[in-house]
């Protein structure tokens, strides 16, 4: 008995602390220390940022197998990759859609932001833009040796291609600049009010090739004295693409996967595995470049340039360097899952309003409280004192779920709220199964305390089966669906786990205490008709 009383005291104390923790004080201007973080709301409940990315299909369109199905596959692949990138930032639920206009394909990314945290919002926007825009290309390069006249001539040809691109009607200068900074080596973009001093030119012309001492300059006027620029160096980089005798360049086309490994001194390194063609190319390169460096570029940046010690036949390469375990894991993850099928270029960004607004959210909360009150009345009218116990357990269940949501920073959306409401219904179902089983045992002549113990034991299999199948469905929605539905699956799974704990621990303690208090006075538990039948 003392043990049960201690548990009751603990439940009451925990309930009071949980209520104090989950109450949204910040929404009412109440600042209390140690109240935890604010609730994170999705785009349908608060404002956010919309990033519009143009999909560059120019390279894909030249492929022999390019058609409408290939185009659709590229767009869907990009959506999936962007979804994963934003998800790793822990600032979503994001909404990702595709759109077609002006003969171009675009991907629209909407990310929720906070109402009163401009510093954190700016940081999240920056992180999102950097993660989404990142074009992952794995390239192996060898030293150029010498710069030929053809190399220098090719630099001017690149400048001509850039100029043609920026002169096309409807093309945005900055979008084109980003594209060529990614795909062409020794191309610099920026904006400045000191163009003449930086590049040492006497006259500035917009949308023309301006020859400088070190390369070719293309300008677009931003304001009276400020210009955006694209600078193409007249010399290529020291590295050239590493290719075999068939001019097959070793890059991500021949890539299979990446993993983090450790050498004999426990230094972290990234292992790259190539397909059969890639293994043949890599064998030829390592045979020809013994005692010479071969560089590994990712995202256009030089990661490392190890010296080839011997021919490698296995089709496996290792990126070594001063990597921590976390850095190696992040790079390996980037290489594995973030290789985009087509470049994406940010064309615009704008703020967007919430779909239902703060006032509507308050009405939604009031409606939920009214719904909970109706359930409370139903349980009390049908099951009397036991209904009251079930309502208390249900309230504690809600407080536990909200505390987990607040602590883990789970994003609340309309979909996740729907999952929470559904899980509450399942929690009620567990209590009703227990009550009905106890009623059956009482009608058989069992004492109240014995009937309670049997009721919990006999109803457990039914409760477990129904909740387990629901949990599997919830996890499938969370793992394999898009972000918009993941919130529903996550909340449903969380609610199911907590409801099992609530029904089999909190409700059990309260019901056993009640059984000991009223003993066999079933009039306190059941309707009069049932007492007479007994």
Residues 6 or more apart whose CB falls under 8 angstroms from that of 169 comprise none
SS3 322: strand
CATH number of the domain at 271, please: 3.30.1360.200
CA dist 156 and 523 (Å) reads: 96
Asked if residue 193 lies in contact with residue 187, where contact means CB atoms within 8 angstroms, the answer is no
Q: pLDDT tens for the chain, 534 residues: list them.
A: 566 667 677 778 888 888 888 877 665 556 655 566 677 777 677 777 888 888 888 878 887 778 888 888 888 888 887 887 777 666 556 778 888 887 889 999 888 776 555 656 677 677 777 767 666 667 889 998 788 888 888 899 989 988 988 888 666 787 777 767 666 678 888 888 888 888 988 888 888 999 998 899 999 887 777 898 999 998 888 888 898 988 888 887 788 878 888 877 778 888 888 989 999 999 999 999 999 998 888 766 777 788 888 888 888 888 777 778 887 877 776 666 556 677 788 888 887 766 665 666 677 778 778 878 888 888 888 877 778 888 888 888 888 888 888 888 777 777 788 888 787 777 788 888 888 888 888 888 887 778 888 888 888 888 888 888 888 988 888 877 655 677 788 888 888 888 888 877 787 777 777 777 666 555 445 444 444 444
For residue 108, list its beta bridge partners: 52, 97
The pLDDT value given to residue 468: 87
- Do 227 and 247 have their domain in common? no
- Do 364 and 487 have their domain in common? yes
The DSSP annotation for 86-136 comes to HHHTT----EEEEEEETTEEEEEEEEE--SS-HHHHHHHHHHHHHHHH---
- Do 267 and 325 have their domain in common? yes
What Cα–Cα distance (Å) separates residue 161 from each residue in 9, 168, 215, 438, 500? 77, 11, 15, 81, 65
Residues 6 or more apart whose CB falls under 8 angstroms from that of 337 comprise 81, 84
Six token digits for residue 488: 């529903």
- Do 25 and 117 have their domain in common? no
The pLDDT value given to residue 455: 82
Q: How many CB atoms lie within 10 A of CB 463?
A: 21
- Do 256 and 399 have their domain in common? no
- Do 186 and 332 have their domain in common? no
**What phi, psi does 502 have (nearest 5°)?**
-65, -45
CATH number of the domain at 110, please: 3.30.70.3400
CA dist 419 and 485 (Å) reads: 10
CA dist 501 and 18 (Å) reads: 16
β-strand 40-41 against 411-412: which pairing, if any? parallel
**HSE of 532 in the Cβ direction (CA atoms, 13 Å)?**
3
The pLDDT value given to residue 524: 46
Q: How far is CA 223 from the centre of its chain?
A: 38
pTM of the model: 0.50
Six token digits for residue 365: 């909360």
- Of 282, 308, 339, the residue at which a domain comes to its end is 339
The DSSP annotation for 190-208 comes to EEES-HHHHHT-S---BTS
What is the total count of domains within the chain? Answer: 4
Q: How far is CA 245 from the centre of its chain?
A: 42
CATH number of the domain at 8, please: 1.20.1640.10
- Do 29 and 6 have their domain in common? yes
Q: How many CB atoms lie within 10 A of CB 392?
A: 17
Q: Which domain holds residue 88?
A: 47-135+345-352
- Of 317, 352, 387, the residue at which a domain comes to its end is 352
- Do 511 and 370 have their domain in common? yes
The pLDDT value given to residue 514: 73
**What phi, psi does 526 have (nearest 5°)?**
-115, 170
- Do 361 and 293 have their domain in common? no
Nearest CA to 274 out of 293, 250, 292, 248 is that of 250
- Do 27 and 147 have their domain in common? no
The pLDDT value given to residue 41: 74
Asked if residue 128 lies in contact with residue 111, where contact means CB atoms within 8 angstroms, the answer is yes
- Of 352, 381, 416, the residue at which a domain comes to its end is 352
Helix 118-133 and helix 68-88, axial crossing angle in degrees, nearest 10: 140
- Do 15 and 54 have their domain in common? no
- Do 129 and 95 have their domain in common? yes
The pLDDT value given to residue 528: 41
């Amino acid at each position: 008995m003392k043990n049960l009383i201690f548990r009751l005291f603990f439940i009451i104390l925990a309930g009071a602390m949980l209520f104090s923790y989950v109450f949204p004080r910040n929404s009412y201007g109440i600042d209390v220390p140690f109240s935890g973080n604010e609730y994170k709301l999705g785009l349908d409940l608060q404002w956010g940022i919309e990033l519009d990315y143009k999909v560059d299909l120019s390279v894909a369109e030249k492929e022999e197998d390019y058609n409408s199905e290939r185009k659709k596959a590229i767009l869907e692949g990009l959506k999936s990759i962007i979804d994963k990138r934003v998800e790793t930032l822990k600032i979503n639920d994001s909404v990702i859609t595709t759109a077609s206009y002006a003969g171009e394909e675009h991907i629209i990314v909407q990310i929720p932001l906070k109402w009163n945290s401009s510093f954190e919002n700016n940081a999240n926007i920056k992180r999102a833009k950097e993660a989404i825009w990142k074009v992952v290309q794995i390239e192996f390069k060898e030293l150029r040796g010498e710069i030929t006249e053809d190399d220098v001539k090719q630099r001017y040809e690149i400048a001509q291609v850039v100029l043609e691109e920026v002169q096309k009607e409807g093309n945005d200068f900055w979008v084109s600049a980003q594209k060529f900074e990614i795909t062409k080596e020794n191309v610099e973009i920026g904006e400045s009010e000191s163009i003449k001093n930086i590049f040492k030119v006497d006259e500035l012309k917009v949308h023309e090739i301006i020859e400088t001492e070190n390369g070719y300059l293309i300008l677009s006027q931003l304001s009276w004295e400020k210009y955006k620029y694209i600078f193409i160096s007249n010399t290529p980089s020291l590295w050239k693409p590493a290719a075999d005798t068939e001019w097959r360049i070793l890059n991500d086309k021949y890539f299979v996967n990446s993993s983090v490994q450790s050498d004999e001194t426990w230094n972290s390194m990234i292992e790259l595995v190539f397909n059969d063609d890639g293994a043949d190319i890599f064998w030829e390169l390592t045979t020809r470049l013994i005692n010479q460096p071969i560089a590994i570029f990712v995202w256009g940046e030089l990661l490392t340039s190890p010296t080839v010690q011997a021919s490698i036949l296995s089709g496996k390469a290792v990126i070594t360097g001063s990597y921590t375990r976390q850095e190696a894991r992040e790079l390996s993850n980037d290489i594995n899952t973030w290789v985009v099928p087509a470049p994406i270029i940010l064309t615009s960004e704008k703020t967007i309003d919430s779909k239902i607004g703060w006032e509507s959210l308050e009405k939604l909360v009031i409606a939920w409280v009214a719904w909970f009150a109706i359930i409370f009345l139903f349980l009390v009218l049908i099951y009397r004192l036991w209904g009251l116990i079930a309502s208390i357990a249900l309230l504690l269940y809600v407080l536990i779920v909200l505390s987990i949501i607040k602590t883990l920073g789970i994003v609340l959306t309309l979909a996740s709220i729907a999952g929470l409401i559904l899980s509450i219904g399942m929690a009620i179902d567990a209590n009703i199964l227990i009550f009905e089983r106890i009623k059956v045992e009482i009608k058989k002549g069992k004492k109240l305390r014995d009937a309670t113990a049997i009721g919990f034991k006999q109803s457990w299999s039914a409760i477990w089966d129904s909740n387990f199948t629901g949990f599997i469905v919830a996890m499938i929605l969370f793992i394999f669906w898009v972000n918009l539905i993941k919130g529903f699956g996550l909340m449903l799974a969380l609610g199911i786990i907590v409801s099992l704990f609530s029904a089999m621990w909190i409700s059990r303690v309260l019901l056993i205490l009640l059984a000991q208090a009223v003993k066999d006075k079933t009039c306190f538990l059941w309707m009069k008709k049932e007492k007479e039948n007994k």
